[in-house]
């Protein structure tokens, strides 16, 4: 039936054009360029403008398969945390045929809220009945206003938080900043307000983000704990299929993403997709992921572990999960 429809479509495209202007030659037909399913380079952030333009572009065939559907507000959002593994989780989830997600981070509930929900919805890809619309912006988790704003949009929104050992996360955060600003102070000097007394500087965002229990308290004022899924950044590396199984269950999706979708890249030190969305080729996250961390004074690392320990214990109690950080 599909092939019959396509045959009729192209037959009419050639013959019907001449019927509209009898006696004059039909203008030459120029095929519109094909548009990739993943705007921008694989694994890298693409601009919001690219995201807004991509879903509606393409040939008649791609429009037939991808152009239909409706732009909806997201039913699920990956809200955090920075340097926890959110990009990996989003790319893995996009393999699922019932997940449609924005590639770029919209930053709607922290930076662009004044633009309104219509602007936000317009960023979303088109979805068919039964598909889930998603986005990820890791800074939402630490944005005080975000829980109330998301709840105002929909109290039923499913939230996903990817968490990672807060000490490792802080070092990864610093490493990212260092790659952009090589002249910043050392990690050790930024960690303390006073190194002699060992007073940790909790105003430094790299440290502050990792106090997960504090941020979670704010979210629980607006969402029940059962509406938030906590994904282990460590298990996302060691057992990606296992963590993706939990995520698919949480989202009410059939478990389609399994071990067969992954292989471990020893050079990068984390799993990669055998086939990415819209591609038949293997796909690893971009060069900005998996950076080598600088050597940090082990005494400083131990002081940070001591600092985070009580917050971690509280976080375990709040979530009912022991993430094994120490």
Element (DSSP H or E) covering residue 215? helix 212-219
Interval 291-301: pLDDT, tens: 687 899 999 99
d(CA 86, CA 94): 12
Residue ranges covered by each domain of the chain: 70-319
Lowest mean pLDDT among 37-41, 165-169, 211-215: 37-41
**Is pLDDT above 70 for 204?**
yes
The answer to the question of whether 85 is labelled as a binding residue is yes
Question: If you average pLDDT over residues 141-164, what whole number do you get?
Answer: 98
DSSP assignment, residue 54? Answer: G
The pLDDT of 137-156, averaged and rounded, is 98
Which pLDDT belongs to residue 324? 96
pLDDT higher than 70, residue 60: no
The residues annotated with a catalytic role in the active site are: 83
Does 83 belong to an annotated binding site? yes
Is 289 annotated in a binding site? The answer is: yes
pLDDT at 32: 34
172 in a labelled binding site: yes
Q: pLDDT band at 274, cuts 50/70/90?
A: confident
Q: 87 labelled as ligand-binding?
A: yes
pLDDT value at position 276? Answer: 62
Between CA 30 and CA 35, with CA 31 as vertex, the angle to 5 degrees is 140
| pLDDT at site 326 | 82
Which is higher by pLDDT, 68 or 306?
306
Q: What is the pTM of this model?
A: 0.77
What pLDDT sits at residue 209? 98
292 annotated as belonging to a binding site for a ligand: yes
With beta carbons less than 8 A apart as the criterion, state whether 38 and 277 touch: yes
More confident residue, 58 or 243: 243
pLDDT at residue 197, rounded to an integer: 87
Q: Is 168 annotated as a binding residue?
A: no
Checking if the pLDDT of 223 tops 60, the result is yes
Contacts 24+ apart (CB under 8 A), 142-148: 142/80, 142/81, 142/205, 142/208, 142/209, 142/215, 143/109, 143/110, 144/218, 145/109, 145/110, 145/113, 146/79, 146/109, 146/110, 147/218, 147/219, 147/221, 147/222, 147/223, 148/222
Task: State residue 85's pLDDT score.
Answer: 95
What percent of the chain has a predicted confidence (pLDDT) above 90? 66
Nearest to 294 by CA among 176, 163, 199: 176
DSSP for 82-148, written as a single string: TTTTHHHHHHHHTTSTTEEE-SS---TTTTSGGG-HHHHHHHSPEE-TT-EEEEE-GGGGG-TTHHH
pLDDT of residue 290: 55
Instruction: Name the residue with higher pLDDT: 207 or 58.
Output: 207
Q: pLDDT-based confidence at 319, cuts 50/70/90?
A: very high
Over residues 253-282, the mean pLDDT reads 79
Tell me: pLDDT of 38 over 90: no
Spatial neighbors of 232 by CB under 8 A, at least 6 apart, are 162, 163, 164, 243, 321, 323
Looking at 3.40.640.10, 3.10.20.30, 1.10.10.10, 3.40.50.300, the CATH number of the domain 70-319 comes to 3.40.50.300
- Higher-confidence position of 47 and 238: 238
């Amino acid at each position: 039936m599909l092939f019959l429809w396509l045959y009729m479509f192209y037959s009419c495209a050639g013959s019907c054009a001449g019927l509209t202007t009898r006696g004059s030659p039909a203008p030459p037909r120029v095929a519109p360029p094909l548009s990739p399913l993943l705007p921008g380079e694989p694994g890298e952030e693409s601009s919001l403008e690219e995201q807004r333009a991509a879903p509606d572009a393409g040939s008649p065939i791609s429009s037939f398969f991808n152009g239909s559907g409706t732009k909806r507000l997201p039913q699920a959002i990956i809200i955090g945390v920075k340097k926890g593994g959110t990009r990996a989780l989003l790319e893995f989830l996009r393999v699922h045929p019932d997940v449609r997600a924005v590639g770029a981070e919209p930053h709607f509930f922290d930076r662009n809220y004044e633009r309104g929900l219509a602007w936000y919805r317009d960023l979303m890809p088109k979805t068919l009945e039964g598909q889930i619309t998603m986005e990820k912006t890791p800074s939402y988790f630490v944005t005080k206003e975000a829980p109330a704003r998301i709840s105002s949009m929909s109290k039923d929104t499913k939230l996903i938080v990817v968490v990672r050992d807060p000490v490792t996360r802080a070092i990864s955060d610093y490493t990212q900043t260092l790659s952009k600003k090589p002249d910043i102070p050392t990690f050790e000097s930024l960690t303390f307000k006073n190194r002699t007394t060992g007073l940790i500087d909790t105003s430094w965002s790299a440290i502050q983000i990792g106090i997960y229990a504090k941020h979670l308290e704010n979210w629980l004022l607006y969402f029940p704990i059962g509406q938030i899924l906590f994904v282990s950044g460590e298990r996302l590396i060691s057992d990606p299929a296992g963590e993706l199984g939990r995520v698919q269950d949480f989202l009410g999706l059939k478990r389609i993403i399994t071990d067969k979708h992954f292989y471990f890249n020893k050079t990068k030190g984390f799993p990669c997709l055998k086939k990415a969305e819209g591609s038949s080729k293997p796909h690893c996250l971009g060069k900005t992921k998996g950076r080598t961390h600088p050597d940090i004074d082990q005494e400083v690392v131990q002081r940070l572990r001591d600092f985070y320990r009580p917050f971690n214990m509280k976080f375990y109690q709040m979530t009912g999960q022991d993430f094994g950080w120490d």
